Amino acid sequence: MELFRLAYDRLFRKLTKENLWLYILKLLTERSMYAYEIAKMIEIQFGFSIATITVYVVIYKMLNEGLIRINKETSDDVRSDRRYYIITEKGEKTLQDGRELIKNFLAKIL
């Protein structure tokens, strides 16, 4: 039973935290968000929690790949320097490609 649990835990980690970019891009298709908000929405919408610092690490990689961009929104709030992240056209295409890949894998094992 213990070995099953280890395999299951590895699968969970691979499908969630190690592919966090999929979840972030999905959220950003709905609206722009800042990093802390992304971390909270992942927990609410997808049912697993992730450290905000981990979200930042993935965000920086995604920025470098051109999957998202920064939009500094100005407001009268105290946090007027907040960085909102927006999905790019390349990000939308990459998300769609990722969805197709997962769909094809699932079709083979289900």
The DSSP code sequence of 7-72 is HHHHHHHHHTGGGHHHHHHHHHHH--B-HHHHHHHHHHHHS----HHHHHHHHHHHHHHTSEEEEE
pLDDT tens string for the chain (110 positions)? Answer: 576 688 899 999 999 999 999 999 999 999 999 999 999 999 999 999 999 999 999 999 999 999 999 987 655 555 567 899 999 999 999 999 999 999 999 999 99
Provide the CATH number for the domain around residue 51: 1.10.10.10
What's the token pair of residue 92? 């939308």
pTM for the model stands at 0.88
What is the domain count for the chain? 1
Domain that holds residue 50: 2-109
Cβ-Cβ contacts under 8 Å for 39 (sequence gap 6 or more):
49, 50, 51, 52, 54, 55
